[in-house]
Amino acid sequence: MWFLWVVQAADAAPGDAQIPVGTAAPPEASAQGEQTLGQLAEDPVAAVYELLLVYNQVYQFISYGVMQEFIVHAKSNGPLHEISSWALGWQKNQVTRALEQCQERGSVSKTLDCELAAEIVIDLLVRHTQRLTDSAERPPPLEHLKLALTLILHGWLTEPAA
């Protein structure tokens, strides 16, 4: 859900490490997330799933291999970890806001901790991404996330999920 711009120092030898110089969400990803929030589906599961579909569009811009390398290197302290934390942070914020809007409409229980639920949802997305990038593991289809969301939100819905 982000781009990492890298440069190689002018005097670097081929194969030398590249230097991260900036990050940005793909221009439409962040804006599409906001647009999705502005036109939120009535069903809470569908509302959150639509955000996850927006975030998953990263694969239109980068390969699974590039994402796999990013995941591996983002686990250690440093610039890639900071980029990952930043991206996951704005995604969690958008999911939290979607759940809060559903609470305001009465389709999700007022007792749901929206921030905690959003954290679980983003963790689910991260694990799905790891499965996509792990060539040894056959990933479930993206629709599998919708089923998982239904299980996560099951006891918190005040109206049946479609």
pLDDT in tens, the chain (162 residues): 344 444 333 444 555 444 443 444 454 677 788 889 999 999 999 999 999 998 887 766 666 667 777 677 777 787 777 777 777 888 999 999 999 999 999 999 999 999 999 999 999 988 888 787 776 666 677 788 899 999 999 999 986 555
List the CATH code of the domain at 26-156: 1.10.357.10
Which pair of structure tokens corresponds to residue 24?
């940005």
Q: In whole angstroms, what is the distance from residue 50 CA to residue 73 CA?
A: 28
Strand partners, 4: 23
Q: Are 102 and 156 in contact (CB under 8 A)?
A: no
pTM of the predicted protein model: 0.75
For every residue of 59-92, DSSP letters joined together read GGTS-HHHHHHHHHHHTSSSHHHHHHHHHHHHHH
Are 80 and 74 contacting, i.e. CB atoms less than 8 angstroms apart?
yes
**Residue 111 corresponds to which amino acid?**
T
Q: What pLDDT, on the 0 to 100 scale, is given for residue 39?
A: 93
Q: What share of the chain is helix, strand, coil (3-state, %, to 5)?
A: 60, 10, 30
* Amino acid type, 133: T
Compute φ and ψ for 139, nearest 5 degrees: -75, 150
Q: Residue 4's closest CA among 20, 19, 18?
A: 20
- Within 10 Å of residue 46's Cβ, how many Cβ atoms? 15
